[in-house]
DNA sequence: AATGAATGAGAATTCATTCAT
DNA sequence: AATGAATGAATTCTCATTCAT
């Protein structure tokens, strides 16, 4: 049975979905093959192995964020307020619909101390994310306060994701977003 | 070879340590046996299997919290302020020195969907924790605000743990604790 | 917790029951201990091990047959016809209520080629049984015909037990008994 | 090491042989792998596990019977007498040379209550066998007598197999076959 | 005698990976 | 590229047996 050419990105997508659903360790190459419609052996034409595939997934999400989210900070036409609202809106879209965000939280925690290369990649992602948020805050607040706020915001979102996962309740994230926005508004009004 | 009696709690402790170090999936029964000095087979005397042992670990941590932490809310001689300070101090002690706290975050996320029974146990733990914090807040704030604040506080701590884990930086948690305390102070001064 | 003195025959009975229920291989020493109310280790005070216990079971059944069944052939006051009826009645009682008979069929087949000592014991039992039946037949028929009939009768009963087991239908055995008796009646009327 | 393609039927055959030799419980997957020349793990490519493999063995024997034996009843060119002789000849060939027959007796009894699915399969086999024999008898005898005779014949063969197994004596089966044939002859002559 | 913890030798099974076709 | 059989190491779990108390 000849098969269509397989886009490696298709495999990455499938892998992302199953990793999220079952966790990294609980997911077998057979599961991934199954999801893609390929057979186990065929995966090895595209990726060196499970770790390699995992790295591609992390990388893919990171790249997507770089392209779609972290660019918000550079939107010339957006006010700071608009940027923050855009970031929040994107975050909600991601966590509720795409789940790439959960991946970076859940799978990161699961694999953090398992493979050092994963750790580095997760850190790079979060550094970029923090940097993006900080850059926006820095339009209004002094450098070190912006830095602080960025760390705090991401941390708050991460906590909300954990609770959301645990209790299956999206409100945790909604409320976190709201708090972040309100804090920005009240602080920036003071600053002005 | 003499047959030492083994306290099952010893096994639970060993398991807790290795689960924390290597993660649940990455830990084999042989690892645990090794840590306890028993042979693999002997573990099955005390626990039906890996899942059962895991449940014992979760339960043991939960019980410890119930005994040592969640009772803080009932300390007759403590003011609300003192209770919150005590909770924070305990939290810091736990997360920095005992690592049982991280377990409830990291291993929870890794195993949340592995077995429904785990999910239930983790949820029970967090419900109890939230309930404890809420009870303290309720001494000063109205019921629903106390509830909100409790959820927010735990969520914030969870986020800090994720970041702390990720970047190996305890300051995340320290700052989260500080924020929680300050928020309490400023809100309660308003209330009064 | 001190326990009453344990009669080894109690253990043998329990073992018989579980062997029958679960088969020899599928039964663990723990199962037997459980049934007797003892703990695993205690069984080894009475029997050298599983094989030894099994031999005691086989032996016990054999002895019981020797005492209760195979003596029928020597009943001075019974006619041949009465002896055959008594044997059949006993057989029915055994297979339907005591199940010792099934043991000698089912467990024999399961363990026949597993432990040579079992084989010898099962053979001895069946030789005795055949001998008993033959002795009765020999009251009426010539030696070699009696021998033939005995083998055939036992064989028929064994077949019926297999079918009974397979289809959970006691009628197989009832009909086999009926055939055996009728055959005896018709043959002996001819002989006279 | 070159990777030979293995016909799953080869595995089934090997399994059949070892199951017969050592019994189901006493046979390990390693034994089977060893017999086939594969490694343990490789067996799981073809069969989900030991039970699954066992089912394939039972099924394979059943299918073989359906194809080679149970079709005898439909041989247009055979008289009833010839059909019975053919069935008997086949039975002898099977039990003496192929051993698949013993499987359906010995292993059936050993595994009857291990897994309900086995029970169902063994019953299906025996029902088919009985049906085949009954159909042949029904050419000469009334329906219900044919049914009775079929049950009796199979039961008799089963008993003979037990005795044959027990005493390692093929004569039991030979005599059972002879009896079955003679009974048919004498009854059918009466009927005519 | 009884206990029950400990042993240790396997058992079945899983799975990432390799490789001939 | 894709296939899918084969590999082999690792993993969970079982169980007859031993032994200190």
Q: Name the residue range of residue B119's domain.
A: 8-191
Give the confidence band of B191 by pLDDT, cuts at 50, 70, 90.
low
CATH of the domain at A132: 1.10.357.10
Res B3 pLDDT > 50: no
Q: What is the mean pLDDT of chain A?
A: 92
Whether D2 is in a domain gets the answer no
Q: What pLDDT score does B2 carry? A: 37
Query: How many domains are contained in chain C?
Result: 1
Q: What pLDDT score does A99 carry? A: 78
Bases of chain F below 7 A from a protein C-beta are: 1-21
Q: What pLDDT score does B115 carry? A: 86
Whether B172 is in a domain gets the answer yes
B-D interface (Cβ pairs under 8 Å ≥ 3): no
Q: Dump pLDDT digits (tens) for B23-64.
A: 999 999 999 999 999 999 999 999 999 999 999 999 999 999
Using alpha carbons, list the distances in angstroms from residue C117 to C56, C93, C128, D19, D177: 12, 28, 17, 20, 31
Which residue among C21, C25, C108 sits closest to D166, beta carbon to beta carbon?
C108
Whether C140 is in a domain gets the answer yes
D28 touches strand E (CB under 7 A): yes
Give the confidence band of C1 by pLDDT, cuts at 50, 70, 90.
very low
Nucleotide nearest to D28 (CA to C1'): E11
Whether D107 is in a domain gets the answer yes
- Find the angle CA(C175)-CA(C176)-CA(C180) to the nearest 5 degrees: 115
Whether D1 is in a domain gets the answer no
- Judge residue D66's burial from the number of C-beta atoms within 10 Å of its C-beta, 0-12 exposed, 13-18 middle, 19 or more buried: middle
Q: Dump pLDDT digits (tens) for A91-127.
A: 999 999 887 889 999 999 888 877 889 999 999 999 9
Residue of D nearest to C157 (CA): D159
> Within window 33-52 on A, which residues have Cβ closer than 7 Å to strand E?
40-41, 44, 48-51
Q: Taking an 8 Å Cβ-Cβ cutoff, which residues of chain D contact chain C?
A: 21-26, 105-106, 108-114, 122-123, 126, 151-152, 154-160, 162-163, 165-167, 172, 175-176, 179
Using alpha carbons, list the distances in angstroms from residue D31 to A117, A143, A166, C109: 42, 71, 46, 21
Question: What string of DSSP letters covers B26-47?
Answer: T--HHHHHHHHT--HHHHHHH-
Q: Dump pLDDT digits (tens) for B85-133.
A: 999 999 999 999 877 788 999 899 889 877 889 999 999 999 999 999 9
Whether D174 is in a domain gets the answer yes
* Distance of alpha carbon A132 from alpha carbon D50, whole angstroms: 56
Q: How far is the CA of D2 from the C1' of E15 (A)?
A: 21
Whether B1 is in a domain gets the answer no
Q: What pLDDT score does D3 carry? A: 47
Give the confidence band of C100 by pLDDT, cuts at 50, 70, 90.
confident
Residues of chain C contacting D104 with CB distance shorter than 8 Å: none
A55 touches strand E (CB under 7 A): no
Whether C26 is in a domain gets the answer no
> Within window 43-62 on B, which residues have Cβ closer than 7 Å to strand E?
44-46
Q: Dump pLDDT digits (tens) for D4-42.
A: 678 999 999 999 999 998 999 999 999 999 999 999 999
* Distance of alpha carbon D185 from alpha carbon D191, whole angstroms: 10
Residue predicted with more confidence, B112 or D182:
D182
The helix/strand/coil state of B174 is: helix
Give the confidence band of C191 by pLDDT, cuts at 50, 70, 90.
low
Q: What pLDDT score does B190 carry? A: 74
Decide: C138 and C150 in contact? Cβ < 8 Å: no
Q: Among B53, B74, B71, B73, which Cα is nearest to B9's?
A: B53
Q: Dump pLDDT digits (tens) for A165-185.
A: 999 999 999 999 999 999 999
- Judge residue C13's burial from the number of C-beta atoms within 10 Å of its C-beta, 0-12 exposed, 13-18 middle, 19 or more buried: middle
Residue predicted with more confidence, A4 or D141:
D141
């Amino acid at each position: 049975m000849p098969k269509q050419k397989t886009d490696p990105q298709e495999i990455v997508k499938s892998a992302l979905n199953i990793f999220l659903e079952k966790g990294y360790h609980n997911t077998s190459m057979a599961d991934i093959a199954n999801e893609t419609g390929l057979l186990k052996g065929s995966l090895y034409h595209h990726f060196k192995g499970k770790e390699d595939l995992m790295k591609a997934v992390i990388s893919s999400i990171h790249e997507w964020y770089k392209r779609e989210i972290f660019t918000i900070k550079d939107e010339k036409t957006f006010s700071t307020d608009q940027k923050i609202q855009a970031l929040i809106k994107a975050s909600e879209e991601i966590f509720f619909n795409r789940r790439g965000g959960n991946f970076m939280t859940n799978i990161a925690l699961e694999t953090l101390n398992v493979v050092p290369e994963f750790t580095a990649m997760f850190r790079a992602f979060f550094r970029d994310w923090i940097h993006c948020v900080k850059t926006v805050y820095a339009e209004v607040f002094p450098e070190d306060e912006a830095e602080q706020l960025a760390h705090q915001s991401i941390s708050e979102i991460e906590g909300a994701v954990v609770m959301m996962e645990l209790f299956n309740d999206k409100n945790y994230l909604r409320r976190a977003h709201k708090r972040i926005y309100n804090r920005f508004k009240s602080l920036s009004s003071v600053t002005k």
